[in-house]
Structure 1
Amino acid sequence: MAAPHETRNCPVCREPWLVLADPTGLPDRWAELAAAAARFDGAAAVRRPPDPAAAPRPGEHPENEQDEHDAFFGVARSTDLSAAAFLLGGAHTHHLVAVHQERSGCGDPRDPGAPAAGWQCLVERATGAEPAVACPAGTTGTSEDGGDPVDCPRPHEHWRVGHQLFFVLIQGVVTGLRCFAGAAAGDTAGAVRALRLASDMCRHSAVAMTFAGGLSPADYEREVRPSMLPPAVRPGFSGFQTRDHALLVRTLRAVRPALGALGFDHPAVVELDGALQQVYAAHRWVCSRFDGARIPSLLMEVGGPQSAQRSGVAVVDELTERRLALVRAAGPRPDRH
């Protein structure tokens, strides 16, 4: 039986709207997250209709690229700014991924359950379950250890569902960072617990990024890439338009003083550094898979002659250094991982 959210038609992308939390309403206190997780019934949530949502209207506010990005990936935003809305969006997302995998056979054949593990990890961490079996420190999120994901025969669907999964796991990273910042003064254990949730969600975000890249380069070039060009979308369509990732970057900047107070060499901060590296390594892998080592990104293509000469991979490498600087002490230092 289809879940209720799968029957809501999207007039823009002609696919069901997936209702996710507005990232500005994500939890900022661990007690709020834990209480919501303790009450949450994941099996019932899959059958529960989404909360009232604001559907994106591309072009209504020309300066708002984030609405266009949400619409392209079939995402509406819940008007309920609560931890429960965040969990409901996560349950619906992972249900869609499971249905997509079942009918398409997509993902890494060595670990077909990897896309679902992020959700299990989040719930385990939030409810204090021990051991957190779905939160392995060794989750890599790249294919550098041998073997690539199976090329999905439904490229548009796969690109959409993979990104939806990435968005909700990035929300998990933001939630961990916000709970870290919201930990009471002197509650080092609480701060560390929240940081470890952020690191876990980073690692699983890397898995989601790699999963999203599981379509053939030929299908990407022939079908997916043209759909991200005018007239379908505005010139320079980019991941920079993602409202969840934009909030992640702002949150990393905001928590930097607290990270420094805990200590940039504290094991939990070092772990976060390594987990962020995995996210951007996965981004680099996907970019390279689709010829990003040679050609510019869609955004760089419209940035002028100088920008158009820069490869997508080169831009990812530059962004990686900028983001990692937010969780590291000032000044150069060798890579620790």
Structure 2
Amino acid sequence: MAFRLAKASADAAAIVGQTMAKYTIYLPPPQAIEAVGMGETSRVAAAALDVLLAHAPEGDLEVLAEQLAPLAVPILERWQAQAAEPDTPGSLSDREAEYDAYFHVHRVSAPDPLEAYCEAVIVAYYRMIRESLKGTSLQPMEIGHLCASIEDILHQFSGRRRPKSWNATPQLAAPPAEAGAPDGALGRWVLGHHAFFVLVQALLMAHRWLSEALANRDVPRAREALAISTQLWWATAASFRFTGDFSNDDYNNIVRPTMAPPFVQDGFSGLFFEEHARLIRTLKSIRPALRALPPKLARSHRLYLWALATAYESHAFVCERFVDQGASLNAAHKRKLASATQTIRGQYKGRALESAGSPSRSKRR
């Protein structure tokens, strides 16, 4: 076993630099993106939607990749021409900065955070589609939901009125998953996280809009914010599945060793993604309002809770598949015995639902 782990670490060391260097994403800091208003528009989003809507959806990922290429490639070329050193805002802790660095997230203090964010959405979408073409076990409906939700983000900021049929979920088939090159799992891990990151930044904005609507007792705006958040939570659930869509052996022999010394400090965890912490804080701040919603929002709230719970279940599913009843890297570092799956289902999911005003959770207190 010791030999196997040593070899795994050597394999990881050989590929981690070249794999990570291929995939960089430029994201605005969370405090900037969180301040974006519901009615703000983006030139980048509008141009992207013009291209996408000019083509009929054919249910073909190769065609979709071809449509996205003219949008994404110029952004990628500009990123590559920029300085290699990330512009990390001082608000990040050392562990948060390390988490960003591991996933090659460069924080940009752009004059217009929304434009920078929409560029990141386009790149993450394009890369995710190209990665899907290498093979995935996700069902066509799951891929379709993920794609539709990402395009919905662009639609939100395009300045166009959303059609009533926009929530229909397309079915997009991808080649079946197959064993690939050693760096394939690490590439999927990184690109899947990039898709997750742009979704979480969208969730940050949507929850800020929800908070403002509830404070102003604006029921129509609150219903819209709940609907947007619900769609994003479902997409987040699919992104977890996509991110972990490779073999158990590849995770334990290739991916997991890169999240331990000498690559990063002990105790590496997704808890160090700053947007996640901000999202949980926002949920806690609006908990009283969510527990006292008017009856008109009861159905919207129920659908929201369903999607939120599913996102956590999807995360737990991936952990269960890779480490079974084993502890997370962070828990193992702290010498805690609870498994990663138990922690997500029994602790994090419960806290999130309680913060989101789940009636059943409120009654238990």
Q: TM-score range by the shorter chain?
A: 0.7 to 0.9
Q: 1:20 aligns with which of 27, 34, 46?
A: 27
**1:236 to 1:210, Cα distance in 2 relative to 1, 3 A:** same
Is the CA contact 1:177–1:251 (under 8 Å) kept in the aligned structure 2? yes
Structure 1 position 271 matched with structure 2 position 300: no
Equivalent residue, structure 2, for 1:143? none
Equivalent residue, structure 2, for 1:36? 42
Q: List gaps (5 residues or longer) in structure 1.
A: 1-9, 140-148
* TM-score, with length taken from structure 2: 0.74
CA distance in 1 between partners of 2:208 and 2:137 (Å): 31
**1:107 to 1:97, Cα distance in 2 relative to 1, 3 A:** farther
**1:100 to 1:260, Cα distance in 2 relative to 1, 3 A:** same
Is the CA contact 2:27–2:120 (under 8 Å) kept in the aligned structure 1? yes
CA distance in 1 between partners of 2:315 and 2:145 (Å): 17
Greater share of helix residues, 1 or 2? 2
The higher radius of gyration belongs to 2
**1:165 to 1:151, Cα distance in 2 relative to 1, 3 A:** farther
Q: List gaps (5 residues or longer) in structure 2.
A: 1-16, 52-69
**1:160 to 1:329, Cα distance in 2 relative to 1, 3 A:** closer
**1:63 to 1:171, Cα distance in 2 relative to 1, 3 A:** closer
**1:201 to 1:189, Cα distance in 2 relative to 1, 3 A:** same
Q: Quote the sequence identity (%).
A: 23
CA distance in 2 between partners of 1:40 and 1:223 (Å): 40
Q: Deviations over 1:102-139 (max 9, x none)?
A: 3x223525345444222123234554321243565x99
**1:67 to 1:218, Cα distance in 2 relative to 1, 3 A:** same
Equivalent residue, structure 2, for 1:320? 349
Structure 1 position 182 matched with structure 2 position 212: yes
> Highest relative contact order (Cα 8 Å, sep 6+), 1 or 2?
2
CA distance in 1 between partners of 2:228 and 2:305 (Å): 13
Q: Deviations over 1:292-335 (max 9, x none)?
A: 3x21110110112xx1x211111111111011100126774689
Task: Report how many aligned residue pairs link the two structures.
Answer: 307
Aligned positions of 1:33-112 closer than 5 A = 35-36=41-42, 40-42=46-48, 43=51, 45-46=71-72, 47-48=74-75, 49-50=78-79, 55=86, 63-80=93-110, 82-102=113-133, 104-108=134-138, 110-111=140-141, 112=143
- 1:207 offset after TM fit, Å? 0.6
Equivalent residue, structure 2, for 1:133? 166
Q: Deviations over 1:155-181 (max 9, x none)?
A: 000010111111111111111111122
Is the CA contact 1:23–1:244 (under 8 Å) kept in the aligned structure 2? yes
Alignment root-mean-square deviation, CA: 3.2
Equivalent residue, structure 2, for 1:237? 268
* TM-score, with length taken from structure 1: 0.80
Is the CA contact 1:151–1:214 (under 8 Å) kept in the aligned structure 2? no
Equivalent residue, structure 2, for 1:194? 225
CA distance in 2 between partners of 1:286 and 1:87 (Å): 28
Q: Which amino acid aligns with 2:177?
A: V
- 1:240 offset after TM fit, Å? 0.5
